[in-house]
């Protein structure tokens, strides 16, 4: 049996996610800081979506609150060659419609992952290594990969399994990276209206009213035992004060991301409890580094060459792109007082970031420090780059996605302005933000990323790897940074089975990405949850808010 860095030994491992039997049937009402953009489990690689997905659409493997790997729909797995893994699937599992779970459902789901229209951030990075499937029998699946893929079982924890039968597919499927010869897949609309929302999870789709509520009901026939809650209602309450008011008034039992300024009072209130934990979510700034022109920049002069590519600059007159000069990128990093943001804006509930994962995670560099605040050094670098008088900039940000996101953007704009880069903020709801980001309308924007695999290859390949569908790199690299040397290191790490060698490659790649200022990490969020007395909850490093993680206190 193979045992890797992430606890991949799975034979005879007890199910970590089995739910306790209900003592008294009741409804759990949750106030959510962010609403999922869709019920579709393959539409958007976004934390609220990924958390919601886990209630209804299970994966082959599972990550617990510390992102340690364990069994789920697969009871065990092992490598049988350098490029093949055998998964032993759980027997007796049924989908919500009563159909049996088999290996065919895994193949069908993998076929759909790259075929979701208009996906803002897809899941292809978790399936790109798969070259073929071999179904030995209904519950034994051989997964072939194009190269050694030590993290394959971890990747399989990050995408949900659909029912092939419920979607009219039976018999053999010839796997490929296109559409597997299938005529059609269920649409995102089908999931949102519930008609395609058929999984194996502990909860079933009941009702989705966008902007108001998402309701799930217990799957009484769940293979892991009847869920603790008969019904779960998730209400999006994006305003932090309103979310807190709902908790205090008893309108909801549980909330995520309570206002940082209210945490001390909550902890002293005998009617409520708070759980907290350092997350792997990095808040960062992405800068457009693709073409000679950048939309939203003024005062830099005419571009050095004609712009070619996607985005507004393809059709509108844009000015010279200052972010192509590493000295400008470094100057902006030096202009940011990360310690002040953590202390004043985050109320101490964050940790300044010097890499894309917190210290101690696999692939991080021991002792890596965040950029020191140095406004004088920033001004000097700008002058050296040819901008002694700075320039003008528009900073894009969501105002309802990350903890204090718009406030952080406003403070950063002030810090940039102090070094001569006059900056204004364009804040918008997350739905508008992601749509705008994905059409490359920001020259610089604030966003966040949580590492689904809990190790360094995940943020590197998603955020700074060159956008390439074939390699699976750059899925969320909307700054379009490209560095062939870095790409090579990331791809090499992903194919290196030896843990020690892979970690050293990732550390080198991380240093290169940071030294080139490919992206500007700001801080890691410390996530908080609050709930009424009588409940218990464990903080999760991935920040997922799961009804399956909320229990009646003993």
Strands 391-398 and 444-450, sheet pairing = parallel
* Phi-psi label, residue 105: left if phi above 0, alpha if psi -120 to 50, beta otherwise: alpha
Q: In whole angstroms, give the CA distance from residue 60 to residue 262.
A: 39
- Reading the block at residue 195, the tokens are 């008609």
Place 9 in a pLDDT band, splitting at 50, 70 and 90. Answer: very low
Domain spanning 27-232: CATH 3.40.190.10: yes
Instruction: Kindly tell me the number of DSSP H helices and DSSP E strands found in the chain.
Output: 14, 22
* pLDDT tens-digit readout, 180-231: 999 899 999 999 999 999 999 999 999 999 999 999 999 999 999 999 999 9
* pLDDT tens-digit readout, 491-531: 999 999 899 999 999 999 999 999 999 999 999 999 999 99
Q: Could you tell me if 149 and 185 are in contact, meaning their C-beta atoms sit under 8 angstroms apart?
A: no
Q: In whole angstroms, give the CA distance from residue 293 to residue 324.
A: 10
Cβ contacts of 476 within 8 Å, gap of 6 or more = 45, 121, 449, 462, 463
Q: What is the mean pLDDT of the chain?
A: 92
Residue of higher predicted confidence among 232 and 308: 232
Q: Residue 170: how many CB atoms within 10 A of its CB?
A: 10
For tokens 């699946």, the residue is 141
pLDDT at 469: 82
Q: In whole angstroms, give the CA distance from residue 357 to residue 83.
A: 28
Q: Which regions of the chain carry the CATH code 3.10.105.10?
A: 280-526
Buried residues in 350-377 as b, exposed as e (16+ CB within 10 A): bbbbbbbbbbebbbbbeebebbebbbee
Half-sphere exposure of 425 (CA within 13 A, CB side): 20
Domain spanning 280-526: CATH superfamily: Dipeptide-binding Protein; Domain 3 (3.10.105.10)
Q: Is residue 2's pLDDT more than 70?
A: no
Helix axes 375-384, 326-335, angle to 10 degrees: 160
Q: Residue 16: how many CB atoms within 10 A of its CB?
A: 14
pLDDT at 177: 83
Of 23-27, 49-53, 154-158, 331-335, the one with minimum mean pLDDT is 23-27
* Phi-psi label, residue 367: left if phi above 0, alpha if psi -120 to 50, beta otherwise: left
Q: Could you tell me if 115 and 216 are in contact, meaning their C-beta atoms sit under 8 angstroms apart?
A: no
Q: What is the pTM of this model?
A: 0.80
* pLDDT tens-digit readout, 460-490: 999 999 999 888 899 899 999 999 999 999 9
Q: Could you tell me if 110 and 130 are in contact, meaning their C-beta atoms sit under 8 angstroms apart?
A: yes
* pLDDT tens-digit readout, 441-457: 999 999 999 998 999 99
For residue 304, what is the DSSP state?
S
pLDDT at 25: 53
Q: In whole angstroms, give the CA distance from residue 397 to residue 406.
A: 6
- Reading the block at residue 341, the tokens are 């943001």
pLDDT at 15: 32
* pLDDT tens-digit readout, 235-247: 999 999 999 999 9
Q: In whole angstroms, give the CA distance from residue 89 to residue 87.
A: 6
Q: Could you tell me if 122 and 116 are in contact, meaning their C-beta atoms sit under 8 angstroms apart?
A: yes
Q: Is residue 287's pLDDT more than 90?
A: yes
Please return the burial class of 23, using the count of CB atoms within 10 Å of its CB with bins 0-12, 13-18 and 19+: exposed
**Average pLDDT over every residue of 362-372:** 96
* pLDDT tens-digit readout, 387-438: 999 999 999 999 989 999 999 999 999 999 999 999 999 999 998 999 999 9
As a whole number of Å, the CA-based R_g of the chain is 23
* pLDDT tens-digit readout, 18-63: 334 444 459 999 999 999 999 999 999 988 999 999 999 999 999 9
Which ranges in 148-258 belong to alpha helices (H)? 152-155, 188-192, 240-249
Q: In whole angstroms, give the CA distance from residue 432 to residue 446.
A: 14
Q: Is residue 554's pLDDT more than 80?
A: no
Q: In whole angstroms, give the CA distance from residue 397 to residue 376.
A: 26
Q: Which regions of the chain carry the CATH code 3.40.190.10?
A: 27-232
**Average pLDDT over every residue of 95-118:** 96
Q: What angle do CA 170, 171, 173 make, to 5 degrees?
A: 100
Strands 140-145 and 130-137, sheet pairing = antiparallel
Q: Is residue 314's pLDDT more than 90?
A: no
């Amino acid at each position: 049996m193979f045992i890797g860095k992430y606890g991949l030994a799975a034979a005879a491992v007890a199910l970590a996610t089995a739910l306790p039997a209900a003592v008294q049937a009741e409804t759990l009402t949750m106030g959510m800081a962010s609403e999922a953009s869709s019920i579709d489990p393959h539409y958007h690689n976004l934390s609220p979506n990924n958390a919601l997905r886990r209630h209804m659409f299970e994966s082959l493997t599972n990550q617990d609150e510390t992102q340690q790997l364990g069994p789920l729909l697969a009871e065990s797995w092992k490598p049988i060659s350098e490029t093949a893994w055998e998964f032993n699937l759980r027997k007796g599992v049924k989908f919500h419609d009563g159909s049996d779970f088999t290996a065919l459902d895994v193949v069908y789901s993998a076929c759909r992952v790259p075929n979701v229209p208009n996906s803002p951030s897809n899941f292809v990075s978790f399936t790109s290594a798969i070259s073929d499937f071999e179904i030995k029998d209904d519950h034994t699946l051989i997964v072939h990969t194009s190269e050694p893929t030590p993290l394959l079982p971890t990747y399989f924890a990050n995408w949900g399994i659909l029912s092939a039968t419920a979607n009219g597919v039976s018999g053999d499927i010839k796997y490929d990276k296109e559409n597997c010869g299938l005529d059609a897949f269920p649409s995102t609309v089908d999931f949102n209206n519930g008609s395609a929302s058929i999984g194996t999870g502990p909860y079933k789709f009941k009702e989705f009213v966008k902007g108001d509520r998402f309701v799930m009901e217990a799957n009484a026939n769940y293979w892991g035992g009847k869920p603790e809650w008969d019904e779960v209602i998730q209400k999006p309450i994006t305003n932090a004060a309103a979310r807190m008011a709902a908790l205090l008034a008893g309108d909801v039992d549980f909330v995520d991301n309570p206002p940082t300024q209210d945490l001390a009072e909550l902890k002293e209130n005998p009617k409520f409890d708070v759980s907290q934990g350092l997350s792997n979510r990095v808040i960062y700034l992405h800068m457009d580094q693709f073409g000679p022109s950048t939309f939203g920049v003024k005062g830099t002069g005419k571009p050095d060459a004609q712009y070619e590519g996607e985005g507004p600059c393809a059709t509108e007159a844009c000015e010279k792109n200052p972010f192509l000069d590493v000295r400008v990128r470094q100057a902006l990093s030096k202009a940011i007082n990360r310690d002040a943001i953590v202390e004043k804006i985050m109320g101490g509930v964050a940790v300044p970031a010097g890499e894309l994962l917190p210290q101690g995670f696999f692939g991080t560099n021991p002792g890596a420090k965040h950029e020191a605040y140095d406004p004088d050094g920033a001004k000097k670098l700008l002058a050296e780059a040819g901008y002694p008088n700075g320039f003008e900039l528009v900073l894009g940000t969501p105002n309802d996605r990350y903890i204090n996101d718009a406030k952080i953007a406003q403070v950063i704009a002030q810090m940039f302005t102090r070094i001569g880069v006059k900056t204004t903020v364009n804040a918008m709801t997350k739905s508008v933000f992601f749509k705008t980001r994905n059409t490359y309308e920001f020259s610089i924007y604030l966003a966040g990323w949580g590492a689904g695999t809990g190790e360094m290859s995940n943020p590197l390949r998603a955020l700074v790897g060159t956008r390439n569908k074939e390699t699976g790199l750059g899925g969320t690299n909307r700054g379009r940074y490209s560095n062939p040397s870095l790409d090579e290191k990331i791809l090499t790490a992903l194919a290196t089975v030896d843990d020690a060698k892979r970690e050293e490659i990732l550390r080198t790649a991380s240093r290169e990405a940071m030294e080139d200022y490919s992206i500007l990490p700001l801080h890691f969020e410390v996530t908080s949850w609050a709930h009424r007395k009588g409940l218990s909850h464990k903080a999760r490093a991935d920040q997922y808010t799961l009804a399956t993680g909320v229990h009646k206190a003993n």
